[in-house]
């Protein structure tokens, strides 16, 4: 069998409210959708959001990387020889992890569909349901408290709170949210690199002393400041997760060796897709650390791949796949069912996505 065509299209999905972090504000969700076609008519779906502020990947850049560089390398290749196709993708160009992730996801989807099995089964999982947290954007404390309360009303029992915009007001943000939602919901915070190391240690200790019950703190300091991250991890009473500091299995090994984080947040868009994620999972399994499966602001196609992985591996103990929950419309057909906090995988082949009605692919 051969891969006969690589097509792309741009999917724009409206959000319920603007998505705001310490790094950026987004008014809509944008994904470059990739469709691989094989000579027997089987197709594979993949997608990637261009998150320039995090990965450096732009809409035009992802599309160009797929259409001009990586896609042509896959045309004519045997999709059943999955590992060989993934090797070609990895060596096809440096960086461009989002474009690689879109194609890697489409390759895994195509491979699983040719075999006729859901991806979770091929990963060795049982396909059980998983639960995601939901993100509250960084805003004035009262607005965040209202958003958190709405999330609890929607059935979420874990809330991820964006902070990192002024340590003093960050404390007030968490106080307002905890006061509003009560003791039951789990709260995790994400500073998106917004604090200095000393400031992070002081703020996290203050939050712990105030009894806010924070489950974990994600990426308190700049991504490249591994010494600073290690300093925060050593002095924080709250477990620290590395997100922007961990792009690859080698990064994960380095962070673990330097005791720079208590856990790793995996995102397919950072590590170039399913294979990179599985390699980080292997590092975590071997090291005995837990991982979070995270996501960018991204659509159900790539979130489906992350959901299948999350369900299959026991070391994935925290799940942050809330992109579909933040949208006011579901434009993707098939795939896992995103019902509030619950993600139900289904047993269709591949990652389950069957189409994107109305999307123009070329």
Indicate which residues carry an active-site annotation.
162, 267
Binding range to Mg ion, per CB under 5 A, among 126-134, 170-178, 240-248, 254-262? 240-248
CB of 160 to Mg ion, least distance (A): 8
The answer to whether 102 and 46 are in contact (CB under 8 A) is yes
DSSP 191-239: -TT-S-HHHHHHHHHHHHHTT--EEEEE--S-TT-HHHHHHHHHH-SS-
The answer to whether 310 and 293 are in contact (CB under 8 A) is yes
Choose, by CB under 5 A, the member of 31, 133, 147, 218 that binds Mg ion. 218
Q: Crossing angle for the helix pair 97-115 and 274-287, nearest 10 degrees?
A: 90
Q: In the complex with Mg ion, which residue's Cβ is closer, 42 or 135?
A: 135
Q: Crossing angle for the helix pair 274-287 and 300-312, nearest 10 degrees?
A: 30
What residue has token string 């958003």? 147
Q: In the complex with Mg ion, which residue's Cβ is closer, 276 or 334?
A: 276
Find the helix or strand (DSSP H, E) in which 309 lies: helix 300-312
Q: Does position 243 bind Mg ion by CB under 5 A?
A: yes
By beta carbon distance, the residue nearest Mg ion is 243
Q: In the complex with Mg ion, which residue's Cβ is closer, 100 or 270?
A: 270
Q: In the chain, at which residue ranges do the beta strands (DSSP E only) sit?
A: 3-20, 25-38, 43-48, 130-131, 134-136, 158-162, 186-190, 214-218, 240-242, 263-266, 291-293, 316-319, 333-334, 337-339, 342-344, 353-355
Q: In the complex with Mg ion, which residue's Cβ is closer, 47 or 265?
A: 265
Choose, by CB under 5 A, the member of 190, 262, 298, 322 that binds Mg ion. 190
Q: In the complex with Mg ion, which residue's Cβ is closer, 12 or 24?
A: 24
Binding range to Mg ion, per CB under 5 A, among 23-31, 242-250, 274-282, 295-303? 242-250
Q: Does position 290 bind Mg ion by CB under 5 A?
A: no
- Total residues at the site for Mg ion (CB under 5 A)? 3
CB of 264 to Mg ion, least distance (A): 11
CB of 171 to Mg ion, least distance (A): 19
Binding range to Mg ion, per CB under 5 A, among 110-118, 142-150, 188-196, 253-261? 188-196
CB of 71 to Mg ion, least distance (A): 29
The residue among 102, 104, 74, 108 whose CA lies nearest residue 88 is 74
Where along the sequence are the contacts to Mg ion (CB under 5 A)?
190, 218, 243
């Amino acid at each position: 069998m051969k891969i006969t065509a690589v097509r792309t299209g741009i999917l724009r999905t409206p959000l319920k409210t603007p998505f705001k972090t310490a790094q950026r504000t987004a008014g809509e969700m944008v994904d470059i959708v990739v469709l691989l076609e094989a000579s027997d008519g089987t197709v594979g779906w993949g997608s990637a959001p261009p998150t320039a502020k995090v990965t450096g990947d732009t809409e035009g850049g992802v599309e160009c990387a797929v259409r001009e560089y990586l896609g042509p390398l896959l045309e004519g290749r045997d999709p059943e020889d999955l590992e060989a196709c993934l090797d070609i993708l990895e060596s096809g160009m440096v960086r461009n992890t989002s474009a690689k992730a879109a194609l890697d996801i489409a390759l895994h989807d195509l491979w699983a569909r040719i075999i006729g099995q859901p991806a979770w089964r091929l990963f060795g999982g049982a396909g059980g349901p998983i639960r995601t947290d939901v993100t509250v954007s960084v805003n004035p404390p009262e607005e965040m408290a209202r958003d958190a309360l709405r999330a609890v009303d929607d059935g979420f029992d874990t809330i991820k709170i964006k902070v990192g915009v002024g340590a003093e007001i960050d404390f007030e943000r968490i106080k307002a949210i905890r006061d509003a939602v009560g003791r039951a919901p789990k709260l995790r915070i994400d500073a998106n690199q917004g604090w200095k190391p000393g400031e992070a240690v002081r703020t996290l200790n203050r939050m712990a002393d105030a009894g806010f019950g924070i489950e974990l703190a994600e990426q308190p300091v700049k991504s490249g400041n591994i010494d600073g991250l290690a300093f925060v991890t050593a002095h924080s009473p709250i477990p620290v997760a590395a997100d922007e500091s961990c792009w690859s299995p080698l990064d994960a090994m380095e962070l673990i060796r330097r005791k720079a984080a208590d856990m790793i947040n995996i995102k397919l868009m950072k590590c170039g897709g399913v294979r990179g994620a599985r390699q980080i999972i292997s590092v975590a399994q071997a090291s005995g650390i837990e991982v979070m499966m995270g996501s960018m602001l991204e659509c159900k196609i790539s979130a489906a791949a992350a959901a299948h992985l999350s369900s299959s591996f026991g070391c994935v103990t925290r799940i942050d796949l809330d992109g579909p929950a933040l949208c006011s419309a579901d434009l993707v057909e098939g795939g896992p069912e995103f019902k509030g906090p619950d993600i139900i995988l289904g047993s269709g082949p591949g990652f389950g996505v069957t189409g994107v009605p109305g999307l123009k692919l070329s």
